[in-house]
Amino acid sequence: MGTQLTGQCNCGYEANVFIASGRAQHGKVFKYPHHCEACNSLTSIDMLGDDFKCTECGSDQIHSYAASTKTLSYKSLLNRLPTDVLKTAGYHRSDVVHEETFCYPLKKTFVFLRGDHYCPKCKLNSMRFFTSMLYD
């Protein structure tokens, strides 16, 4: 099952991106949200494709919104540390995960976090994402 996310920023920028794919494309396509530095837009990149290029302008100056930190177990004593300390140490709590999706062909879990993300238009961390649709 795929997910459509809507990114909305305080500057007024809004765009839709996708995570995973529908049933017909399962195992062949796995889209994931990225932002492009060349055209300053949000784009969904097929992680199973040959080229990792912006679908808007064709640039390879794209950056993923996948979490670069690891999810802590809820049992971990590290959960008592402040969020910024955890991030510096390379971790995040499970309660800040917006969506966690496993890509079978890549054998990798992609984690999309809640909170403020980088906006390609205003260049600030003021973009929020909302689940706008699930599709199959």
- What confidence tens digit (pLDDT) does each residue in 75-132 have? 778 888 888 888 888 988 888 899 999 999 999 999 999 989 999 999 999 999 999 9
Look at the chain and report how many structural domains it folds into: 1
Domain-embedded: residue 131: yes
DSSP secondary structure of 28-95: T--EEEEEETTTTEEEEEETTSS----TTT--S-EEE-S-SSEEPPTT-GGGGS-HHHHHHHTEE-GG
Domain-embedded: residue 90: no
Amino acid making up residue 103: C
Domain-embedded: residue 8: yes
Domain-embedded: residue 109: yes
Domain-embedded: residue 80: no
Domain-embedded: residue 31: yes
Kindly report, residue by residue over 27-59, the tens digit of the pLDDT: 999 999 999 999 999 999 999 999 899 999 999
Around Cβ 124, how many Cβ atoms within 10 Å?
Answer: 13
Strand partners, 126: none
Around Cβ 88, how many Cβ atoms within 10 Å?
Answer: 11
Say whether 10 sits in a helix, a strand or coil: coil
Range of the domain at 112: 2-67+96-135
Say whether 24 sits in a helix, a strand or coil: helix
Domain-embedded: residue 75: no
Domain-embedded: residue 86: no
Around Cβ 136, how many Cβ atoms within 10 Å?
Answer: 9
pTM of the predicted model as reported, rounded to 2 decimal places: 0.87
